[in-house]
A = this chain, B = another copy of it.
C-alpha cells in the first residue's frame, strides 16, 4: 500500500518564512491573547469531542458515509507533507447520502434517466456529483440490498454477552434487519452530551447549531484572522 511519505518536511511552516517584510511583528494585547486562547481551547475541545464521537459511531465500519472521497486529504495532512493524492473515486457526502437514501426508500425503484438528472442536480448543490455517480449508486444500492435475506438473524445475542465464542458469531449479513432502531431511541441530543464528560459546558451541541454558532465567530474578537 501506499502510505505517508515523510518526505516533504511540511510541518506547519515552522520555517516557512512568512512573507517578505518579516521585519515587524504583529502585536496583541493581553486581552486579545486571552480571547484567542479561549477560542482555541474551545475549538480544540470540540474537535476532540467530535473525533471521539466519530470514532465511536463508526466503531467498526458503520459510518453512514462520512468518507467523502473527493479529495483524499485534509488540511492537516496537507501540511504534514502528505501529498494530495489527486483523483479519487467519488463518494457521497453525508448530505448527499442522506438524500439518496431517502429517495431510494421512497420507492422510486427505477430512477429513470430523467429522474437521475434531477437528483443529480439536486445533489450537486451539496457537492460534486455526476449522473453516472447517481446511477451507479442506485445500481449498487439495489443489488446489495437484495443480497441480504439469508441471515436469519434469528438469535441476536447480546454482543457483549459472548459466551466463549472467540469471534463473534453472526456478523454474517452486513445489511439487513431494519428493526435495530427499536433499541436505539432517537434521543440524539443526549448522545452528545454524554453524562460524564466535563467539557460539554463549553460545547453543548445537542442538535446541531451550537457548532455553527461557534463557527460564526472566526474573527476572534477583533482579531481578524482572515485579513491577515
Q: A77: nearest residue on chain B (CB-CB)?
A: B210
| Given A25-B27, A74-B56, A205-B51, also A174-B67 (CB < 8 A) | yes
**Chain B, residue nearest A41 (CB):** B228
Which of B27, B31, B203 is close to A16, meaning CB atoms less than 8 Å apart?
B31
A140, B30: Cα distance in complex, Å: 51
A-B pairs, top 4 by smallest CB distance, nearest first, are A69-B177, A56-B78, A130-B172, A56-B94
- With contact pairs A12-B38, A94-B52, A221-B12 given, residues A177 and B70 touching in the complex (Cβ less than 8 Å): yes
Which of B4, B37, B162, B195 contacts A79, CB < 8 Å?
Answer: B195
> Chain B nearest CB: distance from A35 CB in Å?
5
Is A85 in the interface zone, CB < 8 Å from B? yes
Please measure, in the bound complex, the distance between the C-alpha atom of A179 and the C-alpha atom of B71, giving whole angstroms: 11
**Closest-CB distance, A157 to chain B (whole angstroms):** 8
- Judged by a CB distance under 8 angstroms, whether A112 is at the interface is no
Q: Decide: A30 and B19 in contact? CB cutoff 8 A.
A: yes
Distance, CA A204 to CA B55, complexed state (A): 14
How many A residues are at the interface, by size bracket?
A: 35 or more
Min distance, Cβ A5 to any Cβ of chain B, angstroms: 4
In the complex, chain B residues whose CB is within 8 Å of the CB of A212: 51
Please, how many angstroms separate the alpha-carbon atoms of A160 and B86 in the complex? 6
Are B166 and A67 closer than 8 Å at their CB atoms?
Answer: no
Bound complex: CA A172 to CA B215 (Å): 35
Could you say which residues of chain B place their CB within 8 Å of the CB of A26?
27-30, 33
Q: Smallest CB–CB gap between A108 and chain B, Å?
A: 15
Question: A139 within 8 Å of B by Cβ?
Answer: no
Interface flags, A51-80, vs B, CB<8A=1, else 0: 111111111111111111111111111111
